[in-house]
Amino acid sequence: MKNYFLYLMAMAIMVACGNGDKNKSDKLNVDGAQYAEPFRPQYHFTPKEMWMNDPNGLVYHEGIYHLFYQYYPEDIVWGPMHWGHAVSKDMVHWQHKPIALYPDEHGYIFSGSAVVDKMNTSGFGEEGQQPLVAIYTYHLMESEKAGRADFQTQGIAYSLDNGDTWVKYEGNPVIDNEGIRDFRDPKVFWHEPSEVWIMTLVAGDHAKFYSSKNLREWEYLSDFGKEQGAHGGVWECPDLIKFNVEGANEEKWVLIISINPGAPNGGSGTQYFVGDFDGSSFTTNQEEIKWLDWGTDNYAGVTYNNAPNDECIFIGWMSNWTYARDTPTKKWRSAMTLPRKLTLAKEGNIYFLKNTPLVQLASLKSEVAPKSFDITPGQVKEMEFETNNQAQVVFTTSSNKFEMKFANAKGENMVLGINDTVAYLDRRQSGKIDFHEEFGKTVHKMSLKGLAQESYEVSLYIDRSSVEVFIDDGKFVMTEQIFPTAPYTSLSITNRGTESLQVKNLKVQKIKSIW
């Protein structure tokens, strides 16, 4: 890795007011040939090249969905962090943009959020323009190497051209660090009742809340979480969201927290808390740990600010820090999950988040006639799966004992099964697994406590190197990477129960490439 200060000098030559060479923009658009690389997802977002991790600054403004992300433009492993940038008009097709934020004298540009400052509270707007304001963590590597604990601070930048160029605030950092080692990932939103901006930060093993009237001066409010939730690792990437509870005249707040390690199937994962926020503090009566996704490859996810119709749109990083640096790609590394709609539901006194792919994805799907059939106990239904690993497989059933196997001619296979109150996903023979000892070590399991007693839906989205499973309308979710060396060409469904397995309205829909 380059000497940090030499690196900053090089960046200074390239950067004016925190921006790189604007003429690079047309070089960042991809072509279909490049996106035909082995393992390259065809309908998930990936960088054109090099390393990517956490989604950052998710915001909608003037008809454009912005996706910023942690990016290192010089290698396919983690390095000095920048904010990469892509935009979309439909949350399906993406256009690459120039790097938005470069490291500077305050450090690397770590994770954060972005808001539309509609009332120009920051004073950054000009002639009636509504500025976009990015709020992010600075990480000063030289201070960390020197053994100091205050190497992470919070900074801001603003844009007056809908995210194309950015100016860093001359008063950065806007929140200093009094000695907290892991002090990062600000997520900011406008709190209408108190007419202030609210920031959620993480501080090692808990969350902190701050308020501001202008995005430049911040006041500490409260802490949450030292005694609540999972604590198998460091807390990261918080998000505090207000929901109207489905089917109830009730509002609740949900605090999303990523944790690494400590997830239910190892490594990185995302938990959430359902409670109340009074403008100053978050409280909850929740005792059990709730997981937004039980798979091993949905981490650091956050939601969009200012989304149309107040829709809660979530995107996660589709990887796991256990093996993220080792996955078998050559020119690029990492993908994002499908954009998902989050909703909060309630059964009895139990609240739970549901997450389902956005309906816009339907524009990529082929039209096929559904099929229904029964499978007697112990028998197998086999069918072709000629989709080049770009498909949705969806059906309804009432059975709780069956297994689905996707396989290719090389003997590689991935298995999804349900056994009473547990779902399991087995990728131990799914393809390339030898790049890290933990990747194909165990069968991953998910609790199905609360699964519908009658008919429920099973939906799988398979791309070249991933599978996302949504069960019972997104109540139970697993996201996993897979690396088959050839596309799966067969699908078999086995009845593991003692009664007939009814598979209703099965559809295998091919999904077109977005590139």
pLDDT value for 36: 86
pLDDT value for 480: 98
Tell me the whole-structure pTM to 2 decimals: 0.93
Query: 161-193, pLDDT tens digit by residue?
Result: 999 999 999 999 999 999 999 999 999 999 999
| pLDDT, mean of residues 109-124 | 98
Match 């990083």 to its residue by tokens. 317
317, pLDDT greater than 80: yes
pLDDT value for 175: 98
> How many CB atoms are located within 10 Å of the residue 351 CB?
23
pLDDT value for 495: 98
Concerning whether 54 is annotated as a catalytic residue, the answer is yes
> Structural domains in the chain?
4-357 (2.115.10.20), 365-510 (2.60.120.560)
- HSE-CB at 86 with a 13 A cutoff on CA atoms is 24
Q: How far apart are CA 511 and CA 87, in angstroms?
A: 21
CA distances from 459 to 108, 346, 354, 378, 395 (A): 39, 22, 14, 23, 7
pLDDT value for 183: 98
pLDDT value for 5: 40
332, pLDDT greater than 90: yes
Q: Considering only CA atoms, which of 472, 365, 469 is closest in space to residue 415?
A: 469
Contact 71, 57 (CB under 8 A): no
Q: At 143, is the secondary structure helix, strand, or coil?
A: helix
3, pLDDT greater than 60: no
Query: 409-447, pLDDT tens digit by residue?
Result: 999 999 999 999 999 999 999 999 999 999 999 999 999
Query: 347-367, pLDDT tens digit by residue?
Result: 999 999 999 999 999 999 999
Q: How far apart are CA 134 and CA 187, in angstroms?
A: 10
pLDDT value for 257: 98
9, pLDDT greater than 60: no
Give the tokens for residue 80.
């000095």
pLDDT tier, 33 (very low <50, low <70, confident <90, very high otherwise): low
Which one of 54, 293, 297, 426 is the catalytic residue? Answer: 54
pLDDT tier, 32 (very low <50, low <70, confident <90, very high otherwise): low
29, pLDDT greater than 70: no
451, pLDDT greater than 90: yes
Q: At 5, is the secondary structure helix, strand, or coil?
A: helix
pLDDT value for 209: 98
